[in-house]
Structure 1
């Protein structure tokens, strides 16, 4: 990726713009499945029998995808629940799933979906238009108290508001036209609507199971997160049914009544190893068939052992979060000094897999809206010291939160990354107080909610191919993570999501990215390459930049 263009402190931004246009599906001919999506050979009538064990970096934060935004939760729920539309493994575009076709009307404000016949939820109840509306209306009607308990809900980030602020919401309503026909109405055009529906958060749950599991009553706790009884036993239409969840693993079994290809795997065990070396050793010992989040330290060892490594295209961004609810961080010069203190090149070389790109914005390179010549202040510790001295910073202590005992695709070794960033900030004059938090002790909720976190490490893994998936959830409104308030940027993000694909929309996202960069609400550091390691038993694994990896597509040696 070309080097970024220097940006003057507090100055105006000018940049040459580059765009890659995405195509939305609005009733046009549906894409033909790519060769990588071909079904496994037909299995005996007894169904799949293989057991597949996958090493994960952490326990899920809950298994109700509507209320979490956690990689490990989504990894499990993608197997159990399905949405109206799926994701093409090659293009990232929407493909038929529970809906076989769809049509856009009313200038993009209404979508009608033809539903797949004969599908049942894993509890035996029928999937139909009424069940789709039950799910959409549930998400729309999440009360403020529930949203506070579960800040990982995706509905607000996509549709902007819930029923208590209906006039601000893009979602208008759901109508069951017939058992196999459902219409979703929007208050305004939303160009990324179909792509957004591919999010695991919009998987359709059994209304009966949600009622029996009091899905909106978060009276239990897992990994520091408040969850419902339903979130410990999800029920969908997917190829795998939930079988169990204990302190070390989640177990799924093949759904004998699944409408589609059941693949080879009859039992999946997602086993947690919270240290990278433990995952590596488990693979070498034959205890697991694969694991995610290969670290730099593991990479060479895997190569020497001749293990398979599959790399995903970058579709996440790692950043240093800055909370403007902390008074001193409301000062732009202080935030700019933070940016100039960070040596992104060193961080990437030390802690990320080769070909990880330096980030100067939050939209990754493959999306329209990515600016190939993005403005950045660059690494300049001398200027950072000078700016800090001029800013009025008097050595105020900044609490720096970072997670322990976890690996994320965007954050492979958080403790080491924290140590390097803390060293760099201290070197230019910042007073840093480390606040290590176990991931399982609610780290995500602590840094995404209003609190005393001044700085924190986190990242965002994209889930669908639209720039709104990155800038909308992070910077589309004021939130507890950044305390960022820019009405002009909020308004432009809202306008951009309603524009049709084309140069005007692309240019507007360039402007949005530039304005975000100028105000430094957070510092983007890297677009990481993430990788999986697999045993020799695996012939094929459906690696996906958006992590849409359903295990019916895993092929194993006989």
Structure 2
């Protein structure tokens, strides 16, 4: 058994993580600093920060939420056993001050720091951790991210008041990094006994530096500082409670309106910046902080249980009919790069599959012809009287993603494939996935600094939104990478999984995603985490 404390996690490839650079106007140490002349003065406590986001997931339980916009807020309400340093990839202490990992990566023993409490006053002790890890698997598919993190979970044991041992029935190399994510953020034991719907509607009691003060679905969410908070990770700059008194998250669907509100001073921070807004924001004195997201790229993912997309030739035709370079150059913020695999370049284990993704419309047409799809008078191909028309579900209202999907529509139409888009709201996601009445899903990106994000999305034993068949051959490399500690061997399994996903065209990779946050000149100390999201404990306003 090895004792670990503030050291690199064994499951990471440090060179890849080092590529995750952070750029900002006036930024220092990975944090937004709105003062471009460096004369911000000492940090100040107090005040409200207004943060405009594009969507609301309609749920106040971070263990059940996968939407980045909602997690910007809920990440502030829950702490995790560990934290991940975004600069180095190190797993560092948070609620756990140290940990031990068995040599076979089946057993993880955490020594908790004393003194932390949930917002209902209950101590964060080993019994509370056990209740969380016993309850999360019961959420099933509602815990879309956490479900994969705890695959193979056997039990949690209380060894002492501040010592808990978590055991899996097979090696779980990704688990230590998973303990740093919001999906495994801890909630009060009382919350673990409530129904999933109660947790979504009424919220949960986390041990984070903020609590939910007021919530109006699809409109706003207000956080309030916990004055007694004093157990943040060692890498946080401020000890004790946060600087800000409150943080208000306003839902503003239109990206142009968000950018205009930041420029006019109506809001302090915005997410989802468009390419055309970058220059104007900087001219107005705002800072733009960006981070290349590790994890699964923006993509069009096919439902393999539908008649048309079950044919690999149709999927492959769609994949090579898309011009990724045109889309990224026209739509996304400067610096965004076309996808070269289903994993982004900044993800450990990424393999460059550019040759498989080259724009080749002539080959697309040849594949469709071989599959029996003939050109129709309106440009859409037909076979046996049926049009080659696919229903695509999108939950994103972000301007760039919407425009990118429109370009994908046009490019596929050029080879005879029609995309019909159903635009749904984020709260409709769970029921839509359960029903499976779609040919493809738009989005599909998952930000996580570990390649196990592939298993979360593409394992047939987990949510399996894409209805991949048992015989797809993916489960073996996905399971083996999750169970392998040796970095080189794990790389091999991750490579095998990527090649299967791309070459079988289960998805059409589009672009490496970036987190872009705009902040006014009054905002300082806002940082982007290793797996996306923001940290507001150290944030203050001048």
Over aligned residue pairs, what C-alpha RMSD do you find? 2.6
Q: Equivalent of 1:331, from 311, 334, 338?
A: 311
In the alignment, which residue of structure 2 is the partner of 1:383? 363
In the alignment, which residue of structure 2 is the partner of 1:272? 251
CA separation in 2, counterparts of 1:43 and 1:178? 39
Deviation, structure 1 residue 55: 0.8
In the alignment, which residue of structure 2 is the partner of 1:360? 340
TM-score, normalised with respect to structure 2 = 0.85
CA separation in 1, counterparts of 2:199 and 2:261? 31
Give secondary structure in 2 for the equivalent of 1:483: coil
In the alignment, which residue of structure 1 is the partner of 2:166? 184
In the alignment, which residue of structure 2 is the partner of 1:477? 460
Deviation, structure 1 residue 281: 1.6
Deviation, structure 1 residue 405: 6.9
Residues 440 and 172 of structure 1: CA distance in aligned 2, closer, same or farther (over 3 Å): closer
1:401 and 2:392 correspond: yes
CA separation in 1, counterparts of 2:396 and 2:505? 29
Over residues 128-182 of structure 1, what are the superposed CA-to-partner deviations in whole Å (9 max), with x where a residue is unaligned? 111110111011334xxxx46x3x532322233xxxxxxxxx2110011111111
CA separation in 2, counterparts of 1:307 and 1:37? 14
Residues 299 and 399 of structure 1: CA distance in aligned 2, closer, same or farther (over 3 Å): same
Q: Equivalent of 2:264, from 279, 285, 291?
A: 285
Deviation, structure 1 residue 536: 0.7
- The answer on whether the counterparts of 2:275 and 2:331 sit within 8 Å (CA) in structure 1 is yes
In the alignment, which residue of structure 1 is the partner of 2:216? 246
In the alignment, which residue of structure 2 is the partner of 1:306? 285
Once structures 1 and 2 are overlaid, which stretch shifts more, 518-527 or 368-377? 368-377
Over residues 1-59 of structure 1, what are the superposed CA-to-partner deviations in whole Å (9 max), with x where a residue is unaligned? xxxxxxxxxxxxxxxxxxxxxxxx96334149x96599x99999xxx422111111112
Residues 405 and 372 of structure 1: CA distance in aligned 2, closer, same or farther (over 3 Å): closer
In the alignment, which residue of structure 1 is the partner of 2:226? 255
Q: Equivalent of 1:121, from 103, 115, 118?
A: 118
Residues 35 and 304 of structure 1: CA distance in aligned 2, closer, same or farther (over 3 Å): closer
Deviation, structure 1 residue 458: 0.9
Over residues 213-245 of structure 1, what are the superposed CA-to-partner deviations in whole Å (9 max), with x where a residue is unaligned? x233x2xxxxxxxxx255432211111111110
CA separation in 1, counterparts of 2:254 and 2:403? 13
- The answer on whether the counterparts of 2:49 and 2:541 sit within 8 Å (CA) in structure 1 is no
CA separation in 2, counterparts of 1:403 and 1:511? 29
In the alignment, which residue of structure 1 is the partner of 2:451? 467
- Unaligned 5+ residue runs, structure 2? 9-27, 33-39, 232-239, 374-382
1:431 and 2:422 correspond: no
CA separation in 2, counterparts of 1:268 and 1:403? 29
CA separation in 2, counterparts of 1:492 and 1:403? 29
Q: Equivalent of 2:6, from 30, 34, 55?
A: 30
- The answer on whether the counterparts of 2:308 and 2:388 sit within 8 Å (CA) in structure 1 is no
Q: Map of 1:43-192 to 2, 5 A cutoff?
A: 48-105=45-102, 107-142=104-139, 147=140, 150=142, 152-160=143-151, 170-192=152-174
Give secondary structure in 2 for the equivalent of 1:376: helix
TM-score, normalised with respect to structure 1 = 0.82
CA separation in 2, counterparts of 1:391 and 1:405? 32
CA separation in 2, counterparts of 1:110 and 1:338? 44
Give secondary structure in 2 for the equivalent of 1:27: strand
- The answer on whether the counterparts of 2:303 and 2:466 sit within 8 Å (CA) in structure 1 is yes
CA separation in 2, counterparts of 1:520 and 1:551? 39
Give secondary structure in 2 for the equivalent of 1:204: coil
Deviation, structure 1 residue 77: 1.7
Residues 154 and 441 of structure 1: CA distance in aligned 2, closer, same or farther (over 3 Å): closer
Residues 280 and 110 of structure 1: CA distance in aligned 2, closer, same or farther (over 3 Å): same
Deviation, structure 1 residue 523: 0.8
- The answer on whether the counterparts of 1:353 and 1:528 sit within 8 Å (CA) in structure 2 is no
CA separation in 1, counterparts of 2:307 and 2:94? 48
In the alignment, which residue of structure 2 is the partner of 1:202? 184
- The answer on whether the counterparts of 1:93 and 1:195 sit within 8 Å (CA) in structure 2 is no
- The answer on whether the counterparts of 1:402 and 1:418 sit within 8 Å (CA) in structure 2 is no
CA separation in 2, counterparts of 1:53 and 1:310? 17
1:493 and 2:478 correspond: yes
- The answer on whether the counterparts of 2:54 and 2:271 sit within 8 Å (CA) in structure 1 is yes
